[in-house]
Structure 1
């Protein structure tokens, strides 16, 4: 999961100001009304009763309390957090079930692993480019990804005992660390850093695809390019770094979405996009620790 088309789409839309006017009054919405046949500059000549009524309406508007996010159904940070926790709960539940089934019946490991990876990738692109937000599909992705992670984690744990708990703890630490660094302003996401990140990400994706093909065709063995040598470990460290910075980009996009007043339903997509990045980070950390143990 080395890409995040969900946030890529929102980044482009937010940069173009696509959501800038959601829930906001249009320019001139509260301009002084004109009498039929009366130029705007002649409003001062309107009957006194009409002027008084307009003035009262204007004062009522200014004195009324601001509409809350719940009333306008705009997305809040709390919406994204709650949706994310719910999706991760589904992922962990299905991951635990897949681990248990693979432990009882090892022949299920490969089907769960490959099937979960392929179906999960398909769901990522369907959800990302679907014009209508579909919570059921997003929940289905969490379940499918849980099956994939349960199977792959059981495989790595069998080969390298203790590596899964290391990867889980490291993922949580990286997530909390990036969250703290971003929201304290230590790490800033700029348009320039986004471009550099996307170029590095594209390069890594192309490398990963070529590396996987070489391993599957038997040209390379083990981990592929670099294998478990120092170069291989550096490649994994680079991938972990990309996934970690991707979290900062995700946080920035979520924050911009909240500030732009996106509809509440988009919190599902934001939570989904964040989950894609966290899953990618976990898999890269799992590979890194396994490579280090394989020396």
Structure 2
């Protein structure tokens, strides 16, 4: 739990918020709090009905569907705008703007002390612009790449969900630590590769365009797929712990980000194998 920033926030809120709860999801009583924590608790204003609501699975599902709809609508708009630009400059602007915009905004959302719904919605818009521009470019160059990537992404998502629910995939703290290190390593590698691409090395694809490109892409797809299992586990743990309803936005955001990451990596693998 300590490895997940969402649960770090829950721990802090449990200690100071209204009607706190312990790590097992039970309401924390006066005997569980220090004198300073009790004083801080009694000084808090009365919670509204919205603030006192606890997270449910339906909350996360509805928020995820809403964010996914925003991504799809924005992606469709970016697709048609990019396709209608003969020079390709608009598509490139959407691609770069969406990529760097989501990168910067992702850090803000992750480290912000409060859950900001407007920032999460803005992230979905930028992510949609990025996905639409990238998809249009790939489909124009490799016919049929986008439908194949969409079907593959849905298939992987369903397989990971079934594997998690049936108990074939166990998400432990050790598993989270290993995945965290692997994802961090891949993120650093991707940034270095991006730098090589902008510098004009590797035909614009950097290390992904070499002979080991397919293996790197398969590794990234594996990381994204098992990240879905961690997302499922985070949602389950948050529901069991009685987390505040507002965290449904953060959990849904994380799920959509992982799903888009998986789609992009599959799209990249298709392009490499086609070449």
Question: What is the CA-CA distance between 1:218 and the residue it aligns to?
Answer: 2.3
Output the CA distance in 1 between the equivalents of 2:108 and 2:51.
31
User: Equivalent residues in 2 for 1:24-63 (5 A)?
Assistant: 24-26=27-29
> Which residue of 1 is the match for residue 55 of structure 2?
75
Question: What is the CA-CA distance between 1:177 and the residue it aligns to?
Answer: 0.9
> Which residue of 2 is the match for residue 128 of structure 1?
110
Number of residue pairs matched by the alignment: 248
2:29 aligned counterpart, secondary structure: coil
Q: Deviations over 1:132-175 (max 9, x none)?
A: 21212211111111011000110111110100111111111111
Structure 1 unmatched ranges of 5 or more:
1-6, 30-68
User: Equivalent residues in 2 for 1:77-116 (5 A)?
Assistant: 77-105=57-85, 106-116=88-98
Residue of 153, 166, 170 corresponding to 1:184? 166
Q: Deviations over 1:196-231 (max 9, x none)?
A: 1112112211221112212221233243225253x2
Output the CA distance in 2 between the equivalents of 1:71 and 1:140.
23
Contact 2:26/2:241 (CA < 8 Å) preserved in 1? Answer: no
Output the CA distance in 1 between the equivalents of 2:206 and 2:164.
34
Larger CA Rg, structure 1 vs 2: 1
Output the CA distance in 1 between the equivalents of 2:128 and 2:208.
29
Q: Any runs of at least 4 consecutive aligned residues in structure 1 with deviations exceeding 6 A, and if so which?
A: 14-19
Output the CA distance in 2 between the equivalents of 1:164 and 1:118.
22
Matched, 1:260 2:253: no
Question: What is the CA-CA distance between 1:184 and the residue it aligns to?
Answer: 1.2
Output the CA distance in 2 between the equivalents of 1:199 and 1:28.
38
1:225 aligned counterpart, secondary structure: helix
Output the CA distance in 1 between the equivalents of 2:50 and 2:57.
12
Q: Deviations over 1:59-90 (max 9, x none)?
A: xxxxxxxxxx9995100111000100010001
Q: Deviations over 1:28-48 (max 9, x none)?
A: 59xxxxxxxxxxxxxxxxxxx
